[in-house]
Chain A
Amino acid sequence: MHRFPLVILLLIICAVKCRMAKAEQSPGSGNVYTLASVREDLIRQEDTIIYGLIERAKFPSNSHTYDAKYAQIPGFCGSLVEFVVKNTEDIQAKAGRYKNPEENPFFPENLPPSSVPSYPFPQFLHPGAASININKSIWKMYLHELLPLLATSGDDGNYAQTAASDLSLLQAVSKRIHYGKFVAEVKFRDAPEDYEPLIRAKDREGLMKLLTFTSVEEAVRMRVEKKATVFGQEVSLDSNEDNEKRKFDPSVASRLYKNWVIPLTKEVQVEYLLRRLG
């Protein structure tokens, strides 16, 4: 006699599980990100950032690139790098770049809409928090702190190419830092009970503490420095004497991560989580 309700209960449980599984498999449902996949992506992004550092270090500081008084572009107020970044983002926006939630523009004001068919990128992030954009801080850090460490003083006239390589590197650094939103969402979904009390109490410090793993951060910094050493070396067929010559100082890469990339990624995570329950 008790069997009938039990069978119904089992059927209901099965039906719910099936619907959940279906949701997990369908695109647009948002379960394509996991802790493992996010970690793997961050590791791959290290290489992109280091290649970007190396390519920027090809040019000297070329300070005219950053001087609004030098450029004097008709109809545009700003430096050559601002001109190149703003206009390139406009082109890429029309081409659909910023439809991908992983991408964040440096000049979001008046960005033209996409003119291409909408691709069904997974909508994994919480809508209230997905639009966090700290690119203004990244821009300042890049121009005032990173570039002086990275580029040797000098001028070779290649300001347009300099600005283009600045943009590639800025986009790579920005993507990594804003990936904190995906890291935060994955962590939250994994253990909401750990985060909810701190979020409700708006406990920034508590959240930052929960998100900090010093040993992991140190391992990231060391790996980045190792990669910078390997990718930045001069490779020749002759011998192992190559190791002395380098395209850039590998410690710049580890400083970039230690002083800015890791802390700013955590800042993004904290800001994201604070809006997660909204």
Chain B
Amino acid sequence: MMLRFLLPLVVLASCKESNKMAKAQYTVDSARASLVRQEDTIIFALIERARFPLNSPTYNQSYTSIPQFQGSLLDFVISNTEAMQSKAGRYINPEENPFIPTNLPPSVVPRYPFSQFLHPAAALINMNKEIWKLYFNELLPMFVASGDDGNYAQTAVTDLMLLQAISRRIHYGKFVAEAKFREAPQGYEPLIRGRDREALMKLLTSVRVEEMVVKRVEKKAMVFGQEVSLDHDVKGGTYKVDPSVVSLLYQKWLIPLTKTVESRRECRKIKTLNYNPSFVKRID
């Protein structure tokens, strides 16, 4: 009986200890600061992709006939680049999520002790298939001019950089969710146990904050995308990428998908809650 009482305390204490180690790295405020910085990366990447026209042969499987490879030029560049970056240790960082995770080679460099802030089940959430679809079917046609300049390799490279930036932002939802949970578990636990996805989504939604994000990215797109010369300051109206595309990207996809990741992560959390065995439920 004494053991039953002591065991959860020991587990709780060790959880708290590891929480303290990991907590040093991620908080709701630090996660928000990172998301703000990531906006700039996404906008620079949009601008750099917009330098090239659509260059549709990049995406056409029958254009390339690369020996021992089936797929488009884009598939070739992305799968090979991710494989190489994986060997270089990129995906050891829990913030990074590959687009082609099957058969990804392991890292061959010394293992860096990244903070293991996320619970293992939640860490495996990967929404890159959805991100891929929205990127090619909806986003790309919105901001890229039609045409062909032959620079298909560079086009694929800029696609990859933008995809990686978008993917990182959306999957950062895992860290946001974990940080929110740790700072106020009493707010989340009942909803998680009740599997109340709608209420969870409501809790994760701050309309005021989201509106600010949308306005801010539009402003950033105007600042970073403007033509700067010595003659005059802002040349109104000419931007390297349409600022309204950037705000739409955030409003329609980035913010909702990040919240989807957050709520999925919360739902998987319950699987790994082990500090009070009587409350554990199995969730699909």
Contacts and interface: CB of A to CB of B under 8 A. Distances in A.
A226 interface: yes
Contact of B93 (A48, A158, A223, A236): A158
* Category for how many chain B residues contact A: 35 or more
A51 B48 contact: yes
Interface string A94-131: 11110010010000000000011101110000000000
A157 B108 CA distance: 14
Contacts of B150: 100, 119-121
B109 A157 contact: no
Interface stretch (B62-70, B169-177, B195-203, B262-270): B62-70
B163 interface: no
Contacts of B216: 235-237
Interface string B51-72: 1000000000001111100000
Interface string B77-118: 100110011011110010010000000000011101110000
B44 interface: yes
B229 interface: yes
Given A121-B150, A219-B230, A230-B228, A87 B112 contact: no
Interface stretch (B3-11, B152-160, B274-282): B152-160
Given A70-B110, A157-B114, A48 B85 contact: no
B229 to A, nearest CB: 6
Nearest to A96: B153
Interface residues of A, number: 51
B250 to A, nearest CB: 14
B220 interface: yes
B219 A237 contact: yes
A51 B212 contact: no
Contact of B85 (A117, A119, A160, A168): A160
A84 B88 CA distance: 7
B248 to A, nearest CB: 18
A120 B224 CA distance: 33
A159 B40 contact: no
Interface of B: 37, 40-41, 44, 47-48, 51, 63-67, 73, 76-77, 80-81, 84-85, 87-90, 93, 96, 108-110, 112-114, 150-154, 156-157, 161, 212, 215-216, 219-220, 223-224, 226, 228-230, 240
26 contacts: A44-B51, A48-B51, A51-B47, A51-B48, A51-B224, A55-B41, A80-B89, A83-B87, A88-B81, A95-B76, A97-B151, A97-B154, A100-B150, A103-B154, A116-B152, A158-B93, A159-B88, A163-B88, A222-B230, A226-B228, A226-B230, A230-B223, A230-B226, A235-B216, A235-B219, A237-B212
Given A95-B73, A117-B63, 20 more contacts: A54-B40, A70-B110, A73-B87, A91-B76, A91-B80, A95-B152, A100-B150, A116-B63, A116-B64, A116-B152, A158-B93, A160-B85, A160-B89, A160-B90, A163-B88, A226-B228, A227-B228, A230-B228, A235-B219, A247-B40
